[in-house]
Amino acid sequence: EDQVTQSPEALRLQEGESSSLNCSYTVSGLRGLFWYRQDPGKGPEFLFTLYSAGEEKEKERLKATLTKKESFLHITAPKPEDSATYLCAVQAGTALIFGKGTTLSVSS
């Protein structure tokens, strides 16, 4: 069964304190791994797509990496505006299978 597990469930950081979020997956025939950001009361907002092991993508303070079994979202020197829930999803067929997310809180 295709499955996505994200850890930790919640993460509290001080501004400037770098860390990583984990997304472990089990899927037959990975077509892509997607990272989304979700703010309260909003829909998920697309961040990155990764297609193959070894691939990396960067956007501002965020960097996503992919191995054959997991993906990491590295947050470098986070700011309070980076506070959100980060969702990971894998695509095997057409559907996206989402993890339950990591809720990040960054305090100044």
Which residues of the shown chain bind another protein in the complex (CB under 8 A)? Answer: 31-32, 34, 36, 41-46, 49, 51, 87, 89, 91, 94-101
Nearer to another protein, 78 or 101 (CB): 101
d(CA 68, CA 76): 23
Q: How far is CA 11 from the centre of its chain?
A: 13
Helix (H) / strand (E) containing 75: strand 70-75
Nearer to another protein, 49 or 76 (CB): 49
Nearer to another protein, 29 or 54 (CB): 29
